[in-house]
């Protein structure tokens, strides 16, 4: 489940970066891609009960009731992160389809950056003592990458700093590729 989430959100950010860089002739293309990927992430959170988390249910250093409580907290933070990023992708999709103003997406990116930093800190602090190094590094690294990308989006869109257009576009383009690569590594069980 984590791998699929990071792949879909990375793909949505990749599509948004093309729009920021001006590679789409029309915003509706980006809106369709990003919105549909956001709906897929939302569907995974809402109806993906059969999808088991691949990393957060793996080998743990805890056992019994401690493991169950820790796993519940880990999944709660992960699903919260998934929900806010799904809402962001759907919002960016609506922005592209109906050509809303960019500043609203930028303001939401500020809240998204704060939530992603909180998830990063949780994964970096709490998962280190429970799971292997590969698990906590990949989860916290991907959350940190999402936090950085949403922070750059906030500064570019909410503050309307047009000098950051190329910087934001290229950071999101390359950063989304990193997020997708981490998701692919999770799915291929290269990270266990």
* Helical segments of the chain, H only: 2-21, 27-47, 65-98, 102-126, 133-153, 165-187
pTM assigned to the model = 0.90
pLDDT in tens, the chain (192 residues): 888 999 999 999 999 999 999 888 788 889 999 999 999 999 988 887 666 666 665 555 556 667 667 778 888 899 999 999 999 999 999 998 998 888 899 999 999 999 999 999 999 998 887 777 888 889 999 999 999 999 999 999 999 888 999 999 999 999 999 999 999 998 887 776
Closest CA to 147 of 129, 122, 164, 130: 122
Domain positions in the chain: 2-187
> Which residues does 180 contact at the CB level (< 8 Å), separation at least 6?
6, 7, 10, 11, 14
Domain 2-187 has CATH 3.40.50.720: no
DSSP state letter for 156: I
Do residues 19 and 33 touch, judged by C-beta distance below 8 A? no
Strand, coil or helix: 24: coil
Measured CA to CA, the distance from residue 123 to residue 141 in angstroms comes to: 9
How many Cβ atoms from other residues are within 10 Å of residue 146's Cβ?
29
């Amino acid at each position: 489940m984590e791998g699929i989430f990071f792949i879909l959100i990375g793909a949505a950010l990749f599509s948004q970066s093309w729009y920021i860089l001006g590679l789409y002739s029309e915003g509706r293309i980006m809106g369709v891609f990003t919105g549909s990927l956001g709906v897929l992430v939302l569907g995974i959170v809402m109806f993906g009960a059969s999808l088991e988390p691949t990393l957060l249910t793996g080998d743990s250093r805890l056992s019994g009731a401690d493991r169950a409580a820790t796993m519940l907290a880990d999944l709660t933070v992960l699903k919260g992160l998934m929900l806010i990023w799904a809402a962001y992708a759907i919002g960016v999709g609506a922005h592209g389809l109906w050509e809303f103003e960019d500043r609203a997406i930028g303001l939401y990116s500020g809240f998204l950056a704060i939530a992603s930093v909180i998830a990063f800190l949780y994964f970096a602090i709490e998962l280190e003592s429970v799971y292997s190094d590969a698990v906590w590094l990949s989860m916290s690294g991907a959350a940190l990458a999402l936090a950085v990308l949403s922070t750059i989006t906030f500064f570019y869109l909410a503050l309307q700093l047009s000098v950051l257009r190329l910087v934001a576009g290229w950071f999101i383009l390359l950063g989304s590729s990193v997020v997708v690569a981490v998701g692919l590594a999770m799915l291929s069980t290269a990270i266990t």
